[in-house]
Amino acid sequence: YWINDFTSSLGVGVFHSGIEVYGREFAYGGHPYPFSGVFEITPGDTAELGETFKFKEAMVLGRTDFREEDVERIVEEMGKEYKGNAYHLMHKNCNHFSSALSEVLCGREVPGWVNRLAYFSSCV
């Protein structure tokens, strides 16, 4: 988002995140239906997300011992909790999903700055 050009130096911004594992990127987004909002895209390909998205960076969060088939099952199960109609910009967004998936896969959440703006906004 254009606002990130001004706010990133302050440690906040509007960021989309996904988790890349086995050459696939999993992310979460909202829609008006009561089924999974989890989706798969080509890693780092913001064109699939739309023109308002700009790739910032990829970072290694850790390694997983899960096999690719296990990851698929985990993502499918998480889709039951991360339904499209449950998406909320402050309380249940793509960064919450990415952090939860990363925690399951490698025991580490995404860095705090990724979702800091949503956290601060939810405190107001």
Is 123 assigned a catalytic role?
no
- The answer to whether 94 is a known catalytic residue is yes
pLDDT for 37-85, tens place per residue? 999 999 988 888 887 777 777 899 999 999 999 999 999 999 999 999 9
Question: What are the tens digits of pLDDT across the range 8-38?
Answer: 655 556 778 999 999 999 999 999 999 999 9
What does each C-alpha distance from 47 to 17, 22, 28, 54, 62 come to in angstroms? 14, 21, 16, 8, 26
Whole-prediction pTM: 0.85
Determine which one of 88, 91, 94, 106 is catalytic: 94
- Name the pLDDT band for 89 (thresholds 50, 70, 90): confident
Closest CA to 82 of 11, 28, 33, 44: 28
The answer on pLDDT for 103 being more than 90 is: yes
